Amino acid sequence: MQAVATKLIDVTETSASKIAQQWFADVRKNPRTPSYHGIAEDLAIPQAIDFYTKFRAVFAARNPFEEAKRVYARYADESYRNGIPLHEAIYALTLMRRHIWLYAEFQALFLSAVEQQQAVESLNRTILLFDYATYVITDRYQELMKAELDRRLSALRALGMEEAFTGSKVGIMACLVVACAFLTYYYHAVMASGVIFTHLFYIPVVLAGIWWRKKGIVVSVLLGLVLIVSHLLFMRGSALTDDVIRAVMFVVVSSVVALLAEGYSRIGVFSPMAAPLAGAARKS
C-alpha cells in the first residue's frame, strides 16, 4: 500500500497546478458553489495548489490531525476572508479530494488488480485526512465568526460599561434628565412653543434601557411625566395629545431597548468578562 500511496502523493504534487485548474473549472460552474462563480482565478487556484502540495506532509505525518490543523487552518482563513460561506468551503474541499482521484484515474495510475485494491485502502486514509480537514476548517470558521461578532458588538459592549462605573452611569443619567427638564421648561415656559425638541429625550431613554434593562423604564416614565406636567403648567392653550403620544413612545422605546439588552446580556455582549471566560471554556 505504501508504494501506491507514494504514487498517488507524487502525482498530486507534480500535477498540483493541473488538478487545481480542473478543480477551479468545476467550482466556478458548480451550482453548489455559487460564491466561487465570480472569484478571481489568481485567488482560488493558488489556494488549491498550496493545498495539494502540502498533501504529502499531512498524509505521512505521525500525527495527521495536528498536521492537518496546522496546514488547513490557512485554507479556512483565506476562504473566510474571500467571503466564502462555510458550506461552500466544505463542498469545495470535497471537490478537491474528488479531483485527486479523477486525475489519477485519467492517468491510469493504478493498473493491476493488486494496485487497485491498495488504492482503495489509500483512498480510505485520504478520506480520513479530508475529514480532519473538514473538522479543522469548521472549527476555524467558528473562531473567525465569533471574533467578527465580538468586533461588531464592541460598541454595544462599550455602551454597557463595566459594573465599576455604576456611579458614573447615575451621574450621567442625572445630568441628562436635568438637561431634558430644562429644555422642556425653556420651550414651554419661555418660548411658548411645542417644537419637537423631545427627540433629544431618546438619548437618556435608550441609555437607561441598556444600562439598567427593565429598571431603566423608570427614566422614560419620569421624562414623560416631566413633559406632560410642563405642558399642563405652561401650554394650557394647546392640545395635550401630541405630548401624551410622545410620553407613551418614550416608554415603548425604553421597553424594547430593555428587552434587547437583556437578550444581549445572556450571550455576554455587555459582560466584559464574557469573552475571556468563553475562551477559557474552549481551551478546557
> Nearest CA to 172 among 125, 213, 219, 123?
219
pLDDT in the model for residue 56: 78
Percentage of the chain with pLDDT > 90?
A: 23
Residue 134 near residue 90 (C-beta atoms within 8 A): yes
pLDDT in the model for residue 9: 75
Dihedral sign computed on CA atoms, order 259, 264, 269, 272: positive
Residue 80, C-beta contacts closer than 8 angstroms, at least 6 positions apart: 89, 140, 141, 144, 145
pLDDT tens by residue, 162-202 = 444 556 788 889 999 999 999 888 888 888 776 657 788 99
How far apart are the C-alpha atoms of 114 and 133, rounded to whole Å?
Answer: 29
Residue 58 near residue 129 (C-beta atoms within 8 A): yes
> Nearest CA to 200 among 180, 220, 226, 223?
180
Residue 209 near residue 160 (C-beta atoms within 8 A): no
Largest CA distance in the chain: 102
pLDDT in the model for residue 127: 62
pLDDT tens by residue, 96-141 = 888 887 776 655 544 444 444 555 455 555 665 666 777 778 888 8
pLDDT in the model for residue 108: 52
**What does the block give as the cell for 95?**
471537490
pLDDT reading at 36 higher than 80: yes
Residue 27, C-beta contacts closer than 8 angstroms, at least 6 positions apart: 33, 36, 44, 92, 95
pLDDT in the model for residue 219: 94
Q: Please tell me the CATH code under which domain 2-152 is placed.
A: 1.10.490.70
The pTM (predicted TM-score) of the whole model is: 0.49
At 192 the three-state DSSP class reads coil
Local confidence band at 149 (pLDDT 50, 70, 90 cut-offs): confident
At 12 the three-state DSSP class reads helix
Residue intervals in the chain for CATH 1.10.490.70: 2-152
Q: Report residue 146: phi and psi, to 5°.
A: -65, -40
pLDDT in the model for residue 125: 55
Burial class (CB in 10 A: 0-12, 13-18, 19+), 111: exposed
How far apart are the C-alpha atoms of 48 and 188, rounded to whole Å?
Answer: 70
Residue 12, C-beta contacts closer than 8 angstroms, at least 6 positions apart: 19, 52, 55, 56, 100, 103
Calculate ∠ Cα 162-167-168, nearest 5°: 75
Q: What is the mean pLDDT of the chain?
A: 78
Local confidence band at 248 (pLDDT 50, 70, 90 cut-offs): very high
pLDDT in the model for residue 278: 41
pLDDT in the model for residue 281: 38
